[in-house]
Structures are given as C-alpha cells and as structure tokens.
A and B are shown apart, each in its own frame.
Chain A
Amino acid sequence: MTGTIDPTVVNLVVFVLAVFVGYHVIWNVTPALHTPLMSVTNAISSVIIVGAILAAGPAEVDFGSAMGAVAVGLAAINVAGGFLVTKRMLAMFKKKPRVEKAAEKK
C-alpha cells in the first residue's frame, strides 16, 4: 500500500465517526428538551455559513459571489435566530424558588 489518502476517503471516515457520535449524544438528550434540541441543531447546521462566506469571498463580485452573499444572509438568520431562541427557551427551564417568586409578583 503506497500513496496518499484521497480527501474523499478522509471525509468518509470523519462522516461515519460523526454519525456515531451524533447517535450516542442525541439518545442522551432528555425528551423534555427535544424542542430546544431542534432549534439548536438548526443553528448548528447553519455552520453552512462558512461555505457561504467562501462563496462570497472572491474580490471580484460575480454571479457566484452574489449567491454566496445571499446564502450568508440566510444562514446568519438561522445562526442568530437558532441560538437566541434556544437561549430563550432554556431560560424557561430554570429552577425557580416557586413560592417567593409568586409573592413578589403580587
């Protein structure tokens, strides 16, 4: 066996291992947090923004980089929206001192 490993093979190795990691990590997520899980995975899959940045990157603006810029905008909506709405939801799951809090409001 000689020669260098094709990048596609490396990608495949990474992919298979990542699916295994994903499988085990996700089964550990408590069902109560499945909605925040969805919103945070949404934000995480928006890491596709790095591809969009590369597309929009060239110094010369053409059709492709315009597409890239639009993609950056779309992905940025998700990044900001995904993480912030997750934060908002998780804040609701805070343990609160129940009785005192109710008294405060009145």
Chain B
Amino acid sequence: MSANLVALWYLAASVCFILALKGLSSPESARRGNVFGIAGMTIAVVTTLAIVARGRLDLILIAMVIGGMIGSFVSRRVEMTQMPELVAAMHSLVGMAAVLIAVAVVNNPGAFGEHDPLPRVNRFELFIGSFVGAVTFSGSVIAFGKLAGLGKKFRLFSSAPVVFRGQHPLNLVLALVMIGFGFAFFLAEGKAWTPFLAMLGIAFVLGVLIIIPIGGADMPVVISMLNSYSGWAAAGIGFSLNNTMLIIAGSLVGSSGAILSYIMCKAMNRSFFSVILGGFGAAEGATAADAAQKTVKSGSAEDAAFLLSNAESVVIVPGYGLAVARAQHAVKEMAQKLIAKGVSVRYAIHPVAGRMPGHMNVLLAEAEVPYDQVFEMEDINSEFGTTDVVLVLGANDVVNPLAHEKGSPIYGMPIIEANKARTVLVNKRSMAAGYAGLDNPLFYMDKTMMVFGDAKKVVEDMVKAID
C-alpha cells in the first residue's frame, strides 16, 4: 500500500472516531456512534496490518486474539458499580502500551520508517509521549487500587490521602531531574538508552507520587485527569511516529478528559490545583463534632411510604450510598408503584453522584429506570419549590445547604436544592458526615424526616408499605 493510501485510510478512521464521540450527544444516537468507533478501529488496524504484511503477522495476530479475549471477558463480567476501577485499569494499559512502543522506537527506529539514529525532533516528541505514558500507567495503577479498596492491604492504595513532609518539593525535584534526563536523551548520539530509561523510571515514580495524596472523594477528578493523560500519551506517540490518526485520536481523548476534569472540579467547587495537591477531607474533620446536640426527626419506612404515596410530585436524589447498598432495583420498583398511583416521580442527579462522571446515570439505567425520568441538577433545581416530597438516598454533601453560606468550606459548590421542597425524606445509615466531613443542616430542618438504615432494606420496606 502506498503511503498516500495509508494516510487516506487513517483519515477515514479519524472521521469515524469523531463521529463516535458526536453520537454521544443523545442516548438514541450513541449506539450508532459506538458502531462508528468500532468501524474506525477496524479500518485503522487492517490498514496497519497491510503495512507489515511481510513481517511477523503471526506474532501480532496471536497478541491481538489473546488481548481481545481478555478484553471481551472482562467487559462481560464487570459490574456497573465497578466501572471506575475498570476505566482506571484501562488507562494504565494505554499508558503502558505507549511506553513499550517508545522503547521499541528507541531500539529500532527503522521499523517505523524513521531514520536511524532517531532525529532530534522525534526524540523530543518521543520523550513527551513516553513520560506521559509512564505517569499515566503508574498513576492509574494507584487510582485503580484506591477505587478497588485495596487500601486495607497496601497503604499505598489507601483511599485516605497519603501525605508526607516535603512531598511537593520532592515531586518538583523529581520532575526537574526527569526533564534533565529527557534533555540528555535529546542531545545524545546513538541510541542513548541510559538517559531514556532513567527518565522512564523517574516518570513511573512520579505517577505514583502524584496520585497518592489525592483522597477518595476526588476520585472523579483523578479518573478524568488520567483519561486526559492517556489521550495525550497517544498523541505524543503519534507525533514521534508522524501518524496523524494517532494525533487526532489522542487529542480527542485528551480534550475529552480535560473537559470532564473541569466539569468535575466545578461540581465539587474545587480548583484543579487543589485536587492535584491533595489532602482534601483531612483538615475539615473537626467541624462535624458539634453535631450531637441538635435533634433530628426520625421515622420508619412505613411513615415515609405514607408521605410518598400521598404526594403529587416526588423527586428522588440518589447518591453513591444507594449504589453501594445495591438498592437501584428496589428504588425503581418503588417508583413504578408510585407512578401507578398517579404520583409524578423524577430523579435528580448531581454531577459527582457516584465515583466517576455520569456513574449514577449508568447505575439507574442498569436498573431500567427510563432515562426521561432522570434529570441533571441544573435542569431540575428550579422545580423543587413546587415538589411535595424529596427522597434523598445515600447522598449528603450534594444536598448540603451550607454550600449557600459564606465561610463554609463548601461555599459555592453547586447543590441539589432539596431543602426547598415541602417535605424532605433522608435515608442514611447513621448521622456520620459525608466526604467533606461537614455537618448537614438539611437533616435538622422541621420539614425533614430521617429514615435510618441500609438503603436497600429501607426502600424494600417502603415498597411493601405502598399500596
């Protein structure tokens, strides 16, 4: 195949990838979008296989079949609550693949149609692609460990921020040393393995150090950020291989992750840098202490069911606690019963409900909640004034009215305005504070009734009580 023909096929694949992302603008077009994505990938792979047709196709095909089998096995088995872990693991694979390709380029530039020894410009690009890949890999491994709850076995994976003295200066020094080795690699003659490998080693360590100080509550930002990194790593490799398709695909993914990070930071009212520097939740712990004196009204699931079935409009605010208790199906059953009685039921989703962007939507979709009943925070917030009953299930910080009070640590964070409804029902396991470590005035309001207990148990009791 001529180089021009290859470039044109790669162009077709790039267009397919853009269409795949464009499809995600609505659930109806999204499935077609995914088909475009698969088509683009097929074009890209087949074209590349044609280039290396005279080489070791057997080796490549065996690797592809093994990888493909593992991938499809995992994709069938993974639980929807485990999506954040899966995505983190997949980011680490992209990062590692980028590193391995970079090693192969240094070893034999000729295989990629590059000059041997590698020209300076390509070395610079290779440096960027490989260190971003290495940081993505080790950072994602740590993120995976934190999300999968491996913190009990290894302190490195603790979901509480791991901080130590001199952490930031250490990171800075390591980053500078890494850039130094990168520079040496750029200037050296021949293959220059030493500076290249030293640079990679430091990048792996940096990836670990960047992610360990970030606490569990900030995981949605971390995943989005690593998503972005994996894209930039792919783009960097694309630069060094002069492959426009890789650059395009990498940039699409890179900007996607960056935008998601921005959305998540905004939803948590955190600046990107404060997330990166870590340590959230450690300092504010003291404020929850004075909660004990105030009294809350608590009621049974039956009382709650009575209120719900006599309401005209109900809004359900699900939080991650709901997913942990696996109560989605029970909630959906309850909603169906209420709808059958003529109650209008809607769901209000905060952008950070769940552990990754859009997680709660997927969990509700899995429970077969029709997506036209599910509303984003900004679309439904204006309607709480006319809502009879709000049912908060396993959410806390995202409905905390302190966000409207100046001087509170979460001041300015966008919240679901559950406090404006006529009656508020809150299900929680106990009065413990949320991720932010803050007390929640919503729980003490006159119109609020707390229903303590496991979300699944409570909702199932409600379902039984509604008739």
- A: which residues have CB within 8 A of B? 6-8, 10-11, 14-15, 18-19, 21-23, 25-59, 61-65, 67-96, 98, 101-102
Contact = CB atoms under 8 A, between A and B. Distances in A.
A19 B25 CA distance: 18
A43 B37 CA distance: 8
B358 A32 contact: yes
The 7 closest A-B pairs by CB, nearest first: A76-B67, A34-B358, A80-B71, A57-B52, A81-B71, A22-B255, A64-B107
A35 B21 contact: no
A43 B256 CA distance: 13
Given A25-B252, A46-B94, A67-B104, 15 more contacts: A18-B251, A22-B21, A26-B256, A36-B358, A40-B20, A47-B249, A49-B44, A50-B44, A50-B243, A58-B108, A59-B56, A64-B105, A75-B93, A77-B68, A83-B41
Interface stretch (B201-209, B231-239, B437-445): B231-239
Interface in B237-277: 237-239, 241-257, 259-260, 263
B49 interface: yes
B430 to A, nearest CB: 29
A43 B74 CA distance: 14
Identify whether the interface residues of A are mostly helix, strand, loop, or mixed: helix
A105 B234 CA distance: 46
Interface residues of B, number: 116
B289 interface: no
Contact of B100 (A32, A50, A68): A68
A15 B251 contact: yes
Contacts of A86: 34, 37
B252 A93 contact: no
A54 B247 CA distance: 16
Contacts of A71: 96-97, 100-101, 104
A77 B70 contact: yes
A87 B65 CA distance: 20
Given A51-B241, A52-B97, A98-B370, A45 B71 contact: no
Contact of A75 (B24, B67, B69, B259): B67
Contacts of A54: 48, 51-52, 111-112, 241
B457 interface: no
Contact of A40 (B34, B48, B250, B365): B34
Contacts of A14: 244, 247-248
Interface stretch (B75-83, B170-178, B387-395): B75-83
Contacts of B68: 76-77, 79-80
A51 B75 contact: no
Nearest to B65: A76
A77 B72 CA distance: 8
A55 B100 contact: yes
A47 to B, nearest CB: 5
Contacts of A102: 336
Nearest to B351: A31
B86 interface: yes
Nearest to B248: A18
Q: Helix, strand, loop or mixed for chain B's interface?
A: helix
A29 to B, nearest CB: 4
Contact of A96 (B56, B103, B368): B368
B107 A63 contact: yes
A24 B108 CA distance: 38
B422 interface: no
Nearest to A79: B41
A80 B66 CA distance: 11
Contacts of B245: 47, 50
B366 A31 contact: no
Given A41-B256, A44-B249, A35 B41 contact: no
Contacts of A93: 27, 30, 365, 371
Interface string B1-42: 000000000000100011011101111101101100110110
Contacts of A65: 56, 59, 104, 108, 111
A8 B121 contact: yes
B242 A11 contact: yes
B345 to A, nearest CB: 12
B396 interface: no
A26 to B, nearest CB: 5
A26 B259 contact: yes
B45 interface: yes
A24 to B, nearest CB: 9
16 contacts: A25-B21, A30-B25, A32-B374, A33-B358, A34-B263, A45-B234, A47-B234, A53-B45, A53-B60, A58-B52, A59-B54, A65-B59, A73-B63, A77-B90, A80-B72, A92-B365
